[in-house]
Structure 1
Amino acid sequence: MHNWGWIFKMALRDFRKNKAKLLLFVSSIVIGIAALVAISSFGDNLEKDIDNQAKELLGADLVLENNQPIGEQALDTMAIAIAEEVNFASMVAFPKSGESRLTQVRALKGNFPFYGEMETVPKNADDRLRENGRVALVEKILLNQFNAQVGDSIKVGELQFQIVGELHKAPGQTGITATVAPVVYIPKKYAEATGLIQFGSRVEYQRYYQLAAGQDVEELIQPFKEEWEETHIDDDTVEDRKRSTGRSFENLSNFLSLVAFVALLLGCVGVASAVNVFVKEKLTSVAVLRCLGVSSKSTFFIYLSQIIMMGLIGSILGATLGTVLQFILPKVFSDFLPVEVTVQTSWSAIGFGLLTGLVISVLFALLPLLKIRKVPPMMTLRPDESSVSFTRDPWRWLVALGISVFIFSFSLMLLDGWEESLGFTGFVLLAFGLLWLVGTGIMWLIRRFMPLSLSYPMRQSLANLYRPNNQTISLIATIGLGTAMISTLYFIQNQLLDQVKFADKEDQPNMLFFDIQTPQLEEVKDEIKKRELPIMQEVPIVTMRLESINGVDKSDNEGLPDEERNSGRLYNREFRVTYRDSLVQTEKLVDGKLHKVEYPGDSIFVSFDKGYADRTGIKLGDELVFNVQGRPMKTYVGSFREVNFRRVSTNFLVLFPDNVLNNAPKFHVIITKSQSDEQAANVENEIVKAFPNISVINLGVIVDTLEEILGKISFVIQFMALFSILTGILVLISSLIISKYQRVRESILLRTLGASSPTVRTINTLEYFFLGSLASLSGILLSFLATAMLNVFVFDFPIRWAWTEAAIVYMGITSLTVVLGWLNGKNIIKKPPMEILREG
């Protein structure tokens, strides 16, 4: 039996004596717990707000949507209020500057939104819109881009509208959606008069319903579902929006929690390293306790009690900091949030953080702490650490297994899939394993092959990397993984931007003109050639839907067993296809062959994108019946193509042979290349002025938009990665302070033997330089590996090594380590040896 009162008393007594050192251990997990609690609290509050503001997200009780006019519905007579909207992508122009841009035009009729409100400047400017005058509400980001203001005019198609308000927010809209597709609201009565709703235009018709309070919407619409499916009408209820939005942000919250968990794991590696040094210093004291008759288990529990106290203190401090930190998160994520997030204390998140911090800090501390059980009484006479046999201790492997199980269980709770959880756990263990191998390998190489020809300061600083109480492995693990996270982010972000900067590539087009009607085609081509721009592609596009697959239509498909059912997306989407008998540069035939249609009545063989066919279950030889503008057309799958959708080209999921769709209603796309951004803007403005229905995609603007979006996303990821970096720096500082006691003895010895202060300073500086170099280079190597794997398996990019960015990261991390090391040891160097000995 253990005397627990005496054990706790001894633990407290020793804790007071070593309070400064133990509090350094605590600091390692504070940042990780703070991040975890802040993200969990934010997720809890966001979930409540989505639930409370679900109606404001949708703006109505029910929304019906179709790409054809919806027509009269039985529900119309049951509603308290109805609003209608026609929305489509179109160019708009600002007459004052003569500039134009592709936007989302929303033609609105009625008092939408029924719940929530449009945030405008001036306030209630949307009321002017509902008065049905020729007025417009314009997204703030659009006004800022063209230096326009309320009172100016905006041209939508053939009509000019007076700008009566600056739109800041609408139901369900976020900062990211405004950046990608800025909105212009006009009254619905002018939609047709703009001349923009023509054949081939991608138009969505929406009808918003406000129903009686307390009405069960799901039950009310159930009788109409079958009819809506046949006419391709989609319905969206408050519950649907709540589920989809909640699911999206739950995934975001879980991802961010995993990032915070990585920061916590880094801190726990710091705890393990610090406890390892602490245990080494305590081996003699443990041996004395053993000589006095204290059992090995009681001795172990004394120091385990200290670890538990330390973990609890760190978790409490981290939970407190995290609760405060959550006030910042709504501002960090503001561009991604569709609702106003209220900030309040989440006791479940605090409890979760406390439990996680306590469990994981104890688990990581147990590995070095288990050595205490093996300390023999003879160590009082022979204080040799090598006499403690630890390699075959089964508890060591049990604790290691416990750590792996905990990481897997934690990730399973967040990812809701054992395969993803196993992958995350494997990545964490692989990362730590690789960094440990690098640290161990470097230490072995230095010890084995360090040249004797090196200068004395160089040899001494390198030897410090493998001497007792070194922090080499722990620093490489913590700083290395933090560096890897930040480096991978920068490398991938730069590669993404490099892939889309088409305007800088000589062989890549940078302008697309679409929605060109057949009677306009030759005239538009002449206008483009007149401006000395090449016609790189001219492509006809036909819209159609899929009626049946091997004789199975949509209604039959839904009655089939899961394993026999075709993908629902095949029946629901509108296909935009083209026709030709040859491949373009962005395509490669991978299976089957292209068939031509030479005589009327020949079988029609179409070609599918291989990736899309794999995702939806389409196979070679399948019989597909398409509805082409109301006319059924039987086809067969004759080949699969591999399509590079990242290249600027008219890429299609489905390719028809020539001589089949030539007479079908269609519109056209022309692709060209300008020599400069200024020329592109001029051509765009002139074409839009002459042909208002034509839309233009200027890839220079797209790249700018993408850079802005990636900037916002990378800011969020960098904000989360900052927790890992801060944790790594804290571990670095605590490790340096802990090792300071060992460095004091070495410095005294060197000074006593006659070494000058500059020599000692050089040794310390070089040691920290090597530590920083090893940590940053290890992280950079890991990030190179991660980036290469993402390029190959996720993005399908060519592997490119970001040497410039890597050099910047290396210099930053190494410089920080040297500066912190210098600040840590400067007082030791300045003082005379005898003064330090008296203080000791």
Structure 2
Amino acid sequence: MSEGASIRLRPLLALRLALREMRGGLKGFYIFLACIALGTAAIAGVNSLSQSITATIASQGRELLAGDIRFELNNRVATAEERAFLDGLGPVSVSSGLRSMARLPDGSNQALVELKAVDAAYPLYGKLESQPDQPLSDLLAQQGDGFGAVAAPLLLDRLGISVGDEILLGNARIRISGTIVREPDALSDGFGFAPRLMVSAEALDASGLVQTGSLVEHGYKVKISDPARVAAVRTDAETRFPSAGWSIRTSSNAAPSLTANITRFSQFLTLVGLTALIVGGVGVANAVRAYLDQKRSVIATFKCLGAPASLVAMIYLAQILLIALIGIAIGLVLGALIPFVAAQFLADLLPISTEFRLYPGALGIAALFGVLTALAFAILPLGRARGIPATALFRQQGFDPSGFPAWPYLIGALACLGALAGLAIFTAYDRYISLVFLGAIAFAFIVLRAVSLLISWLARRAPRVSSPALRLAIGNIHRPGALTPSVVLSLGLGLALLVTLALIDGNLRRELTGSMAERAPNFFFVDIQGSEIEGFRTLLEGAMPDGKVIEVPMLRGRIIAFNGEDVNARNVPPSGQWVLRGDRGITYAKNKPENSTLAEGSWWAPDYSGEPLVSFSAEEARELGLKIGDMVTVNVLGRNITARIANFRNVEWESLSINFVMVFSPNTFAGAPHAWLATVIDPGATPQEEATVLKAVTNAYPTITSVRVKDALDIVNALLGQLATAIRAAAAVALVASVLVLAGALAAGNRARIHDAVVLKTLGATRATLIRAFSYEYIILGLATAVFALFAGGVSAWFVVSRIMKLPSSFLPDVAVATVVIALVMTVGIGLAGTWRVLGQKAAPVLREL
């Protein structure tokens, strides 16, 4: 047979020999399997769950939107021409949404509500489920001088009422005729800080809540007979009414905010899952090394019989790939089940299908991550084994991990790592975050390697100690083939991730319940009419004499163009897209707001009367690519207004005081109808005093909406708690991967450990002495790893909290203590569990091999 034919047949021969050798089972590869399966399952499950939610939103878009297309107008109703256009498209349902105060008739209690007024056509798709189960028209019907309403059960609990009782809404008397079980278009309406109260359009008119400048959203939902016309209808509406200022949403994108948030959160959890997979990659390398160590005699025999090194490498590469595929298959099965299991718990909160479905795209990406990880971390130990001659394999106790394999193996490992990084970036929603994440992981690997070298260096130069056990432990840390690099690397990443997430969660909770709550205003008051502002101010001065009242004019506007270019055509990073999504609160002012500082440009004179000018938030301007002198066009009350950027401001969003992205010069909105927004700040006010103020304002001015900031912070804190549960579960996956890797590192070093233990016991060492020595070794390594995790996690959390979230960041001692305890328990506990079997080995079989 020619040499060329032999080379062509070599892969087939390698596969046949690999399969033959695997008949003995997968002993030595269980940790390999677990690491690959765990990381693959995490990535597959997170992405499958995300696709399940987004697919359900897309498939149930009509029900979630309660229409085929929705036209939303803020602070105004459609003109006669606009309404005629909408009526010509098909059946139209009109709903109005705003925040208001519901109060008891005797004025003894009140609560903030998310008010929704609907007409007789609501909903065009889907069904409002209520208790009792009656037609919505009957539940909302007028009876005498009052109107029916359905409410979220939470509102009844807050007001201490039940179905059949009456409340006051503005100037209208409302009777609670039922409770809401399921609202079909709740998700498309967005997140609310208060319980829902649904009334008829006639009840809203009678309440007197909608006045000049009131913050109210009017939604016109249209049912179109031919769904294929929806895109054309949207284009036609934008062309015929370019200055309407309405936000148009179709059933294919019924809940854009929810979809975007699900995508962002799934990316974050995917990166955490990728961390688990990369941590597991270290376990893969350890498992491959341990497996090849067990196969020393087989490899030596192959080489002595004339098998070329390339054939030996092919044999074990084939085995590694086959076993990796088994682990990936297990991970894919688990990942595919995650959406089905999650649906049982999330079906009442999110639009998620309860039927079992496969998401090939998500599973395929997870499988590719698994294959690349297995190859990236298995190639190097395989390359080292390939280069060792047969005689050395017979003489040595194991593979020397030092040195580099041949350059083809290095290039192969680097190519797999590059492909892994490229896949993570390509599939990311925010590629900048992915780049930062991958850079941090690469830096962590380098630092952890440096930490292990430093520990070994310090152990090598440590002074001689009198305790034999401690002296033996120090020697184990720096001897050839020591576990130091594997233990530090395996635990370092998992613990650092755990510390990072714990510190972020702790800082956010402390900020929301502590410093932010102390700096924040006591109340926000919305929809204050110009005729009410003087009396409102007088009432607050009497009810809260030590409070500081701040009032600003308030309008709503949507940014539609920069320098004449449609904002939809602008490439905006995800972090800045919120500014362009829907309407923004805007104001005008003679003087610079007191809670902001100029970053660039100059403020206009108090009596300025030239072209319209605008002050833009500096951070958001950078994200949008704006500069001083650019033109900004906003649609306010159906009119397009263009202003030139005069300056940028540094805004303290975390203060929760009155802040705006855009502040215009006063002449921009001269004569425009608007309401007022006010805050009152009194750090010394007690809950009883705040309750008194809330009651006084609500009873005196029933159309003013009062928002108690502490209540809003409590809602956000509860939401963060739910998110933190998911984040901690994801971090636990990475920590479990670290445990597996640590166990793999111990398995990889078992041969050398057995040899050392037998020789020492032969020389007179007792089991107690060896146990103390190993305990000291694991305690030293655990403490060193904990120190790194605290440092790396602290820096990472500081960057996220202070640089991304723009909040104060501090180190939390309780997290530090918990990290040290976890590190010691894991290293000492798992280390001793793995060592116990080593200490029980009989000496004779081992000594015969020396």
What TM-score do the two structures reach when normalised by structure 1? 0.87
| RMSD of aligned alpha carbons | 4.0
2:815 is aligned with 1:805 = yes
**Alpha-carbon shift at residue 582 of structure 1 (Å):** 5.0
Q: C-alpha distance in 1, partners of 2:481/2:345?
A: 41
DSSP 3-state at the match of 2:39: helix
Give, as a single letter, the amino acid of the residue that structure 2 aligns with 1:307: I
Matches within 5 A, 1:403-552: 403-415=416-428, 422-447=435-460, 449-453=461-465, 455-501=467-513, 508-543=520-555
In structure 1, stretches of 5+ residues that fail to align are: none
State the match for 1:653 in structure 2. Answer: 661
Q: C-alpha distance in 1, partners of 2:648/2:361?
A: 52
State the match for 2:3 in structure 1. Answer: none
Matches within 5 A, 1:559-570: none
Whether contact under 8 Å (2:627, 2:645) holds in the other structure is yes
State the match for 1:710 in structure 2. Answer: 720
Change (3 A) 1:463 1:91: farther
Q: C-alpha distance in 2, partners of 1:387/1:548?
A: 65
DSSP 3-state at the match of 2:320: helix
Change (3 A) 1:419 1:346: closer
Residues 695-738 of structure 1: CA distance to partner in whole angstroms, max 9, x if unpaired?
A: 22222112211111111222222222222122222222333344
State the match for 2:27 in structure 1. Answer: 20
State the match for 2:204 in structure 1. Answer: 191
Q: C-alpha distance in 2, partners of 1:739/1:381?
A: 18
Change (3 A) 1:173 1:727: farther
Identity %: 24
Q: C-alpha distance in 2, partners of 1:395/1:317?
A: 31
Using the TM superposition, name which of 701-710 and 669-678 deviates more: 669-678
Residues 293-316 of structure 1: CA distance to partner in whole angstroms, max 9, x if unpaired?
A: 222122222322321232122222
Using the TM superposition, name which of 816-825 and 348-357 deviates more: 348-357
**Alpha-carbon shift at residue 645 of structure 1 (Å):** 1.8
Using the TM superposition, name which of 608-617 and 480-489 deviates more: 608-617
DSSP 3-state at the match of 2:648: strand
DSSP 3-state at the match of 2:323: helix
Change (3 A) 1:340 1:229: farther
Q: C-alpha distance in 2, partners of 1:817/1:387?
A: 23
Residues 436-494 of structure 1: CA distance to partner in whole angstroms, max 9, x if unpaired?
A: 222233223222x2221263222322332333443332333332222222221221122
State the match for 2:38 in structure 1. Answer: 31
Matches within 5 A, 1:656-805: 665=673, 666-673=675-682, 674-805=684-815
Whether contact under 8 Å (1:141, 1:178) holds in the other structure is no
Whether contact under 8 Å (2:561, 2:632) holds in the other structure is yes
2:388 is aligned with 1:375 = yes
Give, as a single letter, the amino acid of the residue that structure 2 aligns with 1:647: S
Q: C-alpha distance in 1, partners of 2:699/2:199?
A: 19
Change (3 A) 1:257 1:672: closer
State the match for 1:131 in structure 2. Answer: 141
Residues 70-119 of structure 1: CA distance to partner in whole angstroms, max 9, x if unpaired?
A: 14423454455332111111122356994433332101112322222223
Q: C-alpha distance in 2, partners of 1:791/1:256?
A: 18
State the match for 2:618 in structure 1. Answer: 610
Change (3 A) 1:236 1:313: closer
Whether contact under 8 Å (1:277, 1:469) holds in the other structure is no
Matches within 5 A, 1:100-249: 100-124=110-134, 126-133=136-143, 134-145=147-158, 148-174=161-187, 180-212=193-225, 216-241=229-254, 249=262
2:76 is aligned with 1:66 = no
Change (3 A) 1:226 1:663: closer
State the match for 1:401 in structure 2. Answer: 414
Matches within 5 A, 1:35-46: 35-46=42-53
Using the TM superposition, name which of 224-233 and 334-343 deviates more: 334-343
Aligned counterpart for 2:284 among listed residues 271, 274, 289: 271
Whether contact under 8 Å (2:56, 2:351) holds in the other structure is no
**Alpha-carbon shift at residue 189 of structure 1 (Å):** 0.3
Q: C-alpha distance in 1, partners of 2:266/2:277?
A: 16
Q: C-alpha distance in 1, partners of 2:361/2:295?
A: 38
Q: C-alpha distance in 1, partners of 2:635/2:385?
A: 77
**Alpha-carbon shift at residue 669 of structure 1 (Å):** 1.1
State the match for 1:88 in structure 2. Answer: 98
Q: C-alpha distance in 2, partners of 1:9/1:692?
A: 83
Change (3 A) 1:84 1:6: closer
Using the TM superposition, name which of 459-468 and 306-315 deviates more: 459-468
Whether contact under 8 Å (1:577, 1:653) holds in the other structure is no
DSSP 3-state at the match of 2:29: helix
Give, as a single letter, the amino acid of the residue that structure 1 aligns with 2:380: L
Change (3 A) 1:836 1:338: same
DSSP 3-state at the match of 2:241: helix
Change (3 A) 1:560 1:608: closer
Give, as a single letter, the amino acid of the residue that structure 2 aligns with 1:241: A
DSSP 3-state at the match of 1:513: strand
Whether contact under 8 Å (2:293, 2:399) holds in the other structure is no
**Alpha-carbon shift at residue 791 of structure 1 (Å):** 3.5
2:600 is aligned with 1:591 = yes
Matches within 5 A, 1:318-333: 318-331=331-344
Q: C-alpha distance in 1, partners of 2:790/2:715?
A: 29
Q: C-alpha distance in 1, partners of 2:16/2:610?
A: 94
Q: C-alpha distance in 1, partners of 2:667/2:192?
A: 41
Change (3 A) 1:263 1:517: same
Aligned counterpart for 2:647 among listed residues 639, 646, 669: 639
**Alpha-carbon shift at residue 206 of structure 1 (Å):** 1.5
Whether contact under 8 Å (1:461, 1:763) holds in the other structure is yes
Change (3 A) 1:588 1:479: same
Q: C-alpha distance in 1, partners of 2:668/2:14?
A: 88
Q: C-alpha distance in 1, partners of 2:157/2:487?
A: 47
Q: C-alpha distance in 2, partners of 1:95/1:467?
A: 82
Q: C-alpha distance in 2, partners of 1:176/1:64?
A: 12
Change (3 A) 1:825 1:695: same
Change (3 A) 1:621 1:143: same
Whether contact under 8 Å (1:606, 1:656) holds in the other structure is yes
Give, as a single letter, the amino acid of the residue that structure 1 aligns with 2:326: I
What TM-score do the two structures reach when normalised by structure 2? 0.86
